[in-house]
Amino acid sequence: MANQDSSSSSEEKYETTYQEGFPQEASSALSTFMQHVLSDSVDRKLVDEDGNLIFSDGNRSVEESSVIYYQFTEEQLKDYYKPLLQTEELNVSLNPLKQSNSLEELRTPLENYEQYSLPSIAMKENNQLEIKTTENQRIIDLNNEMKQYGITGTTEFIMNIEAVNEDNFVIVLADAAKGSRLRELYYLFIKRDLSDFTITQLKYEETQEIINSNVLKPFYDIIPEEGDYKSLFNNISILDVAANKITEIKDNDLLSEDGKFVYLNGAAEELSDGEQRIQTIENYAKGNDIYEEQFNIDFDRISEKMDFETNKISIAKTNYFNEDYIVLHLLYRGKTIGEGGGTNVIVDLQNKKNPTAYLVDLGIE
């Protein structure tokens, strides 16, 4: 489809191939990225079983008082984005895919959620949280259970499910009056049989105290892990299970969507080119120099390939980061004023020794 070019760091294994246009073949990493694109920021993938993918349809207001699920298969997803693989355009906006009627056809409402052991969750009047599973049912009086946080009958919550597994699930409660800032989120960890639960916040300075209290230990198996290390749902804390110690992720570093990797300087407001490094959460917490991925990004080379007016960067940031896939947004300055060109960069790391950077404007800023 497009011209290819390569640049490399001092070591050959860091070589990056630049290719104009969208990837031409489906892959697991691309499909995971498209799941991210086609779902809302508060949707969560809860089941990935035998090619069936089940998500929660995230709530954004207090009026949305119950958890709703939708589903599609991996093959349906590939068919949905297949036209993108066949285009040679360098401007491939993903917005139409998110807004079309076809998306509603792809996202089939899940009626038989009991088949997948998913809970029925509804917020009733006066903050009475009603939960039903195949094993039990229970009403949790949030006013009583959360009175230490100043919660009363006048408090209104935006309620979403965060994760689920065979033994536990996690519900996130956001105080609607205070927004969804980190300090105003409450995490309800609960056993699937509803026999035990705990409600906590995961604030920067208090997370270690919560870990020291051991209240979360019965629910550790639902927290994303890599080896003996776990990334908490606040996206800023890594737990060393053996030492019961928290390591905070630095402001400029970025946790992957699956909670298993950290992109060093990936969250910087002004992303730098040159050598890029990714660590597992274990190696990051240990503070060593062992990297899962190392690759090179050259802003000058990208400008040259795209025939932009200048090679001077105005905006460079990470839009998406997960195992084997990174999506960047680059905007270049004009020669005198205005913009000199912009593009997204899809960095495919599935070939670790020769990653491919696809240069295509996806309309993602």
HSE-CB at 350 with a 13 A cutoff on CA atoms is 11
3-state secondary structure of 244: coil
Integer Cα distance of 58 and 159 in angstroms: 9
At a CB cut-off of 8 Å and minimum separation 6, what does 196 contact? 190, 218
Model confidence, pTM: 0.92
Helical segments of the chain, H only: 28-38, 74-85, 95-99, 101-106, 142-145, 207-213, 281-286, 299-306
Integer Cα distance of 307 and 313 in angstroms: 14
Domain positions in the chain = 4-360
At 295, the amino acid letter reads F
What separation, in Å, do the N-terminal and C-terminal C-alpha atoms of the chain show?
25
What is the mean pLDDT for each group of 10 consecutive residues in the chain (365 residues)? 44 76 96 95 95 96 96 96 92 88 91 91 98 96 96 96 96 86 83 97 89 96 95 96 96 97 97 96 97 95 92 94 96 77 95 92 93
Q: Which pLDDT score, from 0 to 100, does residue 337 have?
A: 64
Q: Which pLDDT score, from 0 to 100, does residue 338 have?
A: 58
The order of strands in the sheet holding 197-200 is 157-164, 168-175, 185-191, 197-200
Q: Which of 59, 37, 35 is nearest to 45 (CA)?
A: 35
Integer Cα distance of 68 and 165 in angstroms: 17
Q: Which residues of 12-43 are buried (b: 16+ CB within 10 A; e: fewer)?
A: eebbbbbbbbbbeebeebbbbbbbbbbbeebb
HSE-CB at 43 with a 13 A cutoff on CA atoms is 18
Q: Which of 42, 89, 86 is nearest to 67 (CA)?
A: 42
The CA-atom distances, in angstroms, between 293 and each of 19, 122, 262, 302, 351 are 20, 42, 10, 21, 10
Furthest CA-CA distance within the chain? 67
